[in-house]
Structure 1
C-alpha cells in the first residue's frame, strides 16, 4: 500500500497568529431519543439550570441506562440530516470535509496530545472528503481502557464516566426553567440517567482554506435558540473535573482544557460549565468558563502545556495537505499511533467507499 505521512513536528513551524477561522453556524440538527432512535429536529434539546450543591454524582449508578455504542453507525445520522437539508433548500451542502466533531477534535489537539493515537476512515466523493472513526480501533481502545487498573482509592473508569452523565442529568431541564415546576427542578438528583438521548448540531465552519461541515452532540442551551439562524446560539458544554489542589493538579486541568476548548470551539459553543468534584464524586462548586478565553488563560499561566494558535495553524496545514492527498474513490485510513508525531494516510480499499457513505446518501446524491 502506498503510504504518505504528515509530520506534526517541529511544531514551531505552526507558531504565530492563527489561520483564518469561520465562525461555526448551525445549519441543521437532529436528535436521538431515549431508545437512541434518530429524529430530525431538536426534540432532545435540553435547557441549562444549575444543580443544587453539594451534588452526589454516585446516586443511581446501578440504574444507569447506558448507550451501547459498540456497533458501527458510520456517518448515517449526519448524512440523513444533510439529505433532509438539501431537500429543503434545493442546494447541495458544499464542503471540503464532512465529519463528526470528535474526529476534528482529535486532529486539532494532535500537536499537544502525545499520549493518544487515532484511526479514521475516509473517502472522497463528489469533491468532498468524508471522515469517520475506525470503529474496530475505537472498540479496541475502550477495552484497553476498561482493563486498566486504577490507583488505590480511585473510582473505576465506568463510575467516573457515569459521574459525567449524572452531572449532565442534574444540570438540565426538558423545558425552559420558567415553564418547569419547582418539584421537577428539585427532583433531578433522583432521575434515572440515560445517555441514549442526544441533541446533535450540524454546523458549517472553516479552518484556513478548508470548508467544514461538522456534526456533534451539544449538552444544553443557556436560554433558547435565537429567531434568526444567523445569530450565535448560547450553547453550554457540561464537564466535571477533580478539584485543583496542587500545581500538578493544575497542569492536569490545563491539559483537560485543551480538549474542552477544541470540542466547544469547533461547534461554536461559547460557554463551558465545570463541576469540580472531590475524589468521592461529590460536586462542591461550579465554574463558568468562556471558550474564547481558554487559550489566553493557558498561555498566561506560563506552563506551556499547549497553544491554541499552533493547534489552528496545524489543522489548517494538515487539512490542506489532506485535500491534495485523498483522491476520489476508494477508502483511506488516517492513522496516528500513540506517542507518535506522524499522521499516516494510506489506501485500504481501491474502489469501495467501505460503508462510510450510506446507500441512501449515495442514491440521493447520484439522483440529484
Structure 2
C-alpha cells in the first residue's frame, strides 16, 4: 500500500458472502459496441484481423497433443504488463464522439478481467489484489496492478504451471481457424500476443459500464467482415475455449466446483457467452475428449454449495457504487485511488495518491483528447 496518508477501510456493508440469500441486482444484457485486434507484436489494429472461427476438432484428431511446438511458442513479452488500459483507450479515442457525446458516457471503464476479479472477491481467500482508480470528466477508469505476492509467485512458477498456460493457447489453435472454410493451422508457432477483443456496454444497478474483453472465436458457416467505424456485431455467436484436468480424483472435482466454475461463469456472464467448449486433458498435456458446457449450468451440479452468482454480481455492484461515492469530488486525470484487498483478513483499504505520479496511468494523448472533446461539446 503506497501513499503518505494512512490507509482507510473502504466501508462496504459486506465483503464476505452474507448469511442470507440476496436478490440478483438489476443488470442489462451486455451489448457489444465495438472491437479491435492486437497483432503478434502487441500493436493495436483497428480491424477484425484477429477474429477467429470455431471449428470442432474431428474424432480422428484426438488425442490433441498440447506439447506440439511448445519450444517454438512466441510468448507474450514482459512489456505487455505495462500496457494497462492503453489499447482500450485507443478504441475510446477513435470512437469518442459516439461513446462520450452521442450516448450516455460510461461511468466506469475497465477490462473484463478486473470485473471478474471483483465478482470473485467474496470467495477469495488466497490471492490479494490491487486496483488503481482515476476519475476524470465523470468517468472512472480502473486498472489492476500486480501485487508483491503475485510478483513473487510468478518468479517461483514451476515449468508445469508455465506449460499449463501455454497448453491453453495451443488448445485454442486446435479449435480456431482464420476462415470457416479452412481447418485450423496447427503447424505454425503459437503467438500468445495475438488477440481479438470486443468492447461491451451494460448497465448494472443503474450504472453505465464499458469494458474490453478478449474473445476466442465465433460460430459461423460464412465469413464475417466487420467494419471498425460502424460495427454490427450484436448477432454474432461467440464461444469460450477452456481446458481442465480430468476429474480422476475427488479433489479435482471439488476444486472445479469451488474455483474454476465460478471464474468461468463470471467471465462468460460478463460478455453474454452461452457456450464453452472444454478440452479434458491429463497431466501430460493430452486432450482426450471435448466437453460442451452451457454457461447457465456452471452454478449448478454441486457448485451452488460453494458460490452464488447473486453474491458475485451484488459485490461488483456495491463496490462500484462505493467507488462513485468515494471519488465524487475528483476530476483529475492523474490522481489515483489505490484499493488493496487482503485475502486473509477479507479487508479492502484504500489511499489517495494525488497529482501526477508514477502511479498515474491515463496517457497525456488521451487526457488532451477528452479535454478537447468536453471543451467543444455544448452542455
TM range (shorter): 0.7 to 0.9
Deviations 1:235-256 (A, max 9, x none): 1111110001233211111111
Deviations 1:48-77 (A, max 9, x none): 112332101011110010011444112111
Deviations 1:217-240 (A, max 9, x none): 111112266999474431111111
What is the match of residue 306 of structure 1?
307
Q: Give runs of aligned pairs for residues 110-125 of structure 1, distance below 5 A.
A: 110-125=121-136
The CA deviation at 1:292 is: 2.7
What is the match of residue 194 of structure 2?
197
Q: Are the aligned partners of 2:261 and 2:303 in contact in 1 as well (CA < 8 Å)?
A: no
> 2: CA distance between counterparts of 1:316 and 1:248?
32
TM-score by length of 1: 0.88
Q: Give runs of aligned pairs for residues 193-272 of structure 1, distance below 5 A.
A: 193-223=190-220, 229=232, 231-254=234-257, 255-272=259-276
The CA deviation at 1:351 is: 5.7
Q: Are the aligned partners of 2:33 and 2:233 in contact in 1 as well (CA < 8 Å)?
A: no
Does residue 97 (structure 1) correspond to residue 100 (structure 2)? The answer is no
> 2: CA distance between counterparts of 1:65 and 1:31?
17
CA RMSD after TM alignment: 2.4
What is the match of residue 275 of structure 1?
279
Q: Are the aligned partners of 2:124 and 2:343 in contact in 1 as well (CA < 8 Å)?
A: no
Counterparts in 2 of 1:73 and 1:253: CA distance versus 1, 3 Å: same
What is the match of residue 152 of structure 1?
none
Counterparts in 2 of 1:168 and 1:10: CA distance versus 1, 3 Å: closer
Deviations 1:310-345 (A, max 9, x none): 111121112111110124131110111232311222
Deviations 1:146-190 (A, max 9, x none): 4145xxxxx6211111111110111100111xx22xxx44xx332
SS in 2 for 1:81: helix
> 1: CA distance between counterparts of 2:215 and 2:11?
31
Counterparts in 2 of 1:357 and 1:289: CA distance versus 1, 3 Å: same
> 2: CA distance between counterparts of 1:353 and 1:320?
27
Q: Are the aligned partners of 2:108 and 2:210 in contact in 1 as well (CA < 8 Å)?
A: yes
Q: Are the aligned partners of 1:251 and 1:305 in contact in 2 as well (CA < 8 Å)?
A: no
What is the match of residue 65 of structure 1?
74
> 1: CA distance between counterparts of 2:31 and 2:341?
29
> 2: CA distance between counterparts of 1:124 and 1:313?
22
> 1: CA distance between counterparts of 2:204 and 2:29?
9
What is the match of residue 55 of structure 1?
64
Counterparts in 2 of 1:60 and 1:230: CA distance versus 1, 3 Å: closer
SS in 2 for 1:78: helix
The CA deviation at 1:261 is: 1.1
Structure 2, unmatched stretches of 5+, are 374-379
Does residue 346 (structure 1) correspond to residue 356 (structure 2)? The answer is no
Q: Are the aligned partners of 1:67 and 1:194 in contact in 2 as well (CA < 8 Å)?
A: yes
The CA deviation at 1:86 is: 2.1
